Amino acid sequence: MSISNAPVKVETPFRRFVAGFCESKVALAGLAVCTLIILAAIFAPWIAPQNPYDLAQLDIMDGRMEPGTVGGGGFTYLLGTDDQGRDMFSGILYGLRISLLVGAGSALLAGLVGATLGLLAAYVGGRTDSLIMRLVDLQLSFPAILAALMILAALGKGVLNVVIALVIVEWAYYARTVRGSALVESKREYIEAARGLSLPTRRILFNHLLPNCLPPLIVVGTIQVARAIALEATLSFLGLGVPITEPSLGLLIANGYEYMLSGKYWISFYPGIALLLTIVSINLVGDQVRDVLNPRLQK
């Protein structure tokens, strides 16, 4: 008789979540691509063969070279160069940093604002609730692209301004989601108990109510990161997003627009592929997270 002395795995919500997530191979692939992209963005200065914004490293003679050409600097331009002789591969790596930063940053901030307002609406109720929810309705009935366009027209270009615009157009999704689950949770006994202990409202909201509203918040958050990245790219493409000194993927694509008609496809093509991979991988992860966390689909 042998007794296995491997530690017995206790089933925790987190482990159950991981096991559920791993059921889909497509989602795992999405997660892998997503991780790779994030790592590439973080370590861009070490991976990129060239610093695309150091003008001393650029050679105007290498402008508009096809992918695979060996340039004057001695290294191969894997994905070609733009009109100023900038290595597209390096440009994309640096562009990814800005796209991801804006996307994740705005989603995080919008989540913070939206979750707080949603919790307040559900917990306080009454006037506060209907005022916040009217605002949410107003926000959601107006298309995000137009609202962001207007805000940027008023504020002007800039990374921070894009983040502000995205937070303003996105908070409502979080607020609505959090309010929905907080309404259910705030009727439970543990909130009653916390109230009975006369804990401060802030503590009830953030230490007791919020953790129990997290699953739907995470789902919305993942999908909103992808949306924010796409929206930022669109705004930058229209010339209203990030400034030319800090080009995101959207701006790189816009730069290649005029060369497209003369058949120089790579200036727009590869940044677009990078953008697509980013958005698709985040969406795949988000889809699976939603399926795993959805209580209706749980066995």
Binding site for another protein (CB under 8 A): 26, 138, 141-143, 145-146, 149-151, 153-154, 226, 230, 233-234, 237-240, 250, 253, 256-257, 260-263, 265, 268-269, 272, 275-276, 279-280, 283-284, 287
* Dist. CA 60–CA 275, nearest whole Å: 26
CA 182 to chain centre: 24
In the complex, least distance from residue 284 CB atom to another protein, rounded to whole angstroms? 7
Residue type, 25: K
Nearer to another protein, 43 or 257 (CB): 257
Nearer to another protein, 71 or 271 (CB): 271
| Minimum separation from the CB atom of position 258 to another protein (A) | 11
Q: Which is nearer to another protein, 198 or 262 (CB)?
A: 262
Q: Cα–Cα distance between 86 and 80 in angstroms, integer?
A: 8
- What's the closest the beta carbon of residue 22 comes to another protein, in angstroms? 18
User: Cβ 1 to another protein, closest distance in Å?
Assistant: 44
DSSP labels, the chain:
-----SPPPP--HHHHHHHHHTT-HHHHHHHHHHHHHHHHHHTHHHH-SS-TT-GGG--GGGTTPPTTEE-TTSSEETT-B-TT--BHHHHHHHHHHHHHHHHHHHHHHHHHHHHHHHHHHHHH-HHHHHHHHHHHHHHHHS-HHHHHHHHHHHH-S-HHHHHHHHHHHHHHHHHHHHHHHHHHHTTSHHHHHHHHTT--HHHIIIIIIHHHTHHHHHHHHHHHHHHHHHHHHHHHHTTSSS-TTS--HHHHHHHHHHHHTTT-THHHHHHHHHHHHHHHHHHHHHHHHHHHH-GGG--
How far is CA 132 from each of CA 93, 126, 140, 181, rounded to the nearest angstrom?
Answer: 40, 10, 12, 16
Provide the angle, in degrees to the nearest 10, between the axes of the packed helices 25-42 and 266-293.
Answer: 130
Least spacing, CB of residue 238 vs another protein, in Å? 6
- Closer of 53 and 259 to another protein (Cβ): 259
> Which of 163/204 has CB closer to another protein?
163
Which CB, 130 or 207, lies closer to another protein? 130
What are the structure tokens assigned to 116, written together? 């707080």
- Whose Cβ is closer to another protein: residue 178's or residue 253's? 253
Work out how close the CB of 285 gets to another protein at its nearest, in angstroms, rounded to a whole number.
11
CB of 229 to another protein, least distance (A): 9
In terms of CB distance, is 183 or 214 closer to another protein? 183
Q: How far is the CB of 147 from another protein (least distance, A)?
A: 9
